[in-house]
């Protein structure tokens, strides 16, 4: 779970349109009209995980659109993301398919080819087996036909494919230290590569995930923000859910903008941010 966990209170907030929590803004509403109200070329980094259209159980959103309608809707969302993204901005899109709909992430990536350059395709590994050992949280599936989904896609889009990244900022130490000199590196760090092992923390109830079916670990948006390599970035998540991207943005010294249609998740995200700010201000 996060570095700081807030005690949750369901309800209690008046339904306002926009909440300002410290340097961050949280908008309750549909992402397309909310995105249209943002200033063009005002965002450094977008990190988001939209509904996957695989039938997950959200509080209010129906995750079972007809595939063509879903793809057209996501194109509309991403056209607005392109508009608000700065020329050297990064858009990290976390999506996954299912055993019965394996093509959907790739169909979406192809649809976005007219808007963005696919600069990097990152595999986010959530669980992995090495020899007879296993690492990461494992959730079994009831099927004799399909393998367990151990990874998801993280598409890194930019406007021209030329964005320089802080690869060593999210790098790892060399195993063979002789590589430092042979590779002409100044520090004991190498590129992490395009396979990221970021496991979920083990949870035993839905409440530990804030009753949200599609959360990601805090370290995922943090790594994306660091890789982009801009100090004090403006970070947008148009599918903010319970606010994990905004929490990550705060830890990275940035200004977060979150958009979320479900008022229950907005309440949770607001509480998490307020609790974080309160803890930081405590003596």
Query: Over the stretch 106-162, which tens digit does the pLDDT of each residue have?
Result: 999 999 999 999 999 999 999 999 999 999 987 778 888 888 889 999 999 999 999
Per-residue model confidence (pLDDT) at position 194: 98
Q: Is residue 3 part of a domain?
A: no
Please state whether 241 falls in left (phi above 0), alpha (psi between -120 and 50) or beta.
left
Q: Is residue 2 part of a domain?
A: no
| β-pair partners for 190 | 172
Domain housing 243:
18-281
Position 7 pLDDT exceeds 80: no
Closest C-alpha among 111, 102, 103, 46 to residue 74:
111
Q: Residue 183 sits in a domain of what CATH number? A: 3.40.50.150
Q: Is residue 29 part of a domain?
A: yes
Q: Is residue 131 part of a domain?
A: yes
Provide the domain count of the chain: 1
**If you search the block for the tokens 């903008």, which residue do you land on?**
257
**Alpha-carbon torsion 45, 51, 57, 61, what sign?**
positive
CA separation (Å) from 195 to 113, 151, 171?
22, 9, 12
Per-residue model confidence (pLDDT) at position 137: 80
**Alpha-carbon torsion 52, 53, 57, 62, what sign?**
positive
């Amino acid at each position: 779970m996060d570095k700081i966990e807030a005690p949750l209170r369901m309800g209690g907030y008046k339904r306002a349109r926009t909440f300002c929590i410290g340097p961050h803004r949280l908008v309750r509403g549909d992402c397309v009209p909310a995105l249209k109200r943002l200033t063009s070329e005002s965002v450094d980094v977008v990190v988001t995980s939209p509904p996957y259209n695989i039938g997950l159980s959200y509080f209010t959103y129906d995750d079972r659109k007809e595939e063509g309608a879903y793809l057209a809707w996501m194109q509309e969302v991403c056209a607005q993301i392109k508009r608000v993204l700065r020329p050297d901005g990064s858009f990290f899109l976390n999506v996954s398919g299912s055993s019965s709909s394996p093509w959907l992430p790739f169909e979406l990536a192809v649809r976005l080819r007219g808007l963005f350059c696919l600069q990097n395709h990152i595999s986010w590994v959530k669980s992995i087996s090495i020899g007879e050992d296993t690492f990461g949280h494992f959730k079994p599936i009831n099927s004799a036909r399909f393998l367990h989904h151990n990874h998801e896609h993280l598409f890194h889009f930019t406007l021209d494919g030329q964005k320089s990244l802080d690869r060593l900022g999210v790098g790892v130490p060399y195993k063979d230290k002789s590589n430092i000199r042979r590779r002409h590196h100044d520090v004991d760090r190498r590129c992490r590569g395009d396979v990221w092992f970021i496991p979920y923390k083990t949870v035993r109830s839905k409440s530990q995930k804030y009753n949200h079916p599609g959360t990601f670990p805090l370290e995922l948006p943090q790594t994306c923000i660091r890789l982009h390599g801009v100090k004090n970035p403006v970070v947008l998540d148009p599918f903010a859910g319970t606010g994990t991207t905004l929490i990550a943005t705060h830890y990275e010294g940035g200004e977060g903008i979150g958009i979320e249609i479900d008022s229950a998740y907005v309440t949770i995200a607001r509480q998490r941010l307020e609790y974080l700010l309160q803890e930081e201000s405590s003596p």
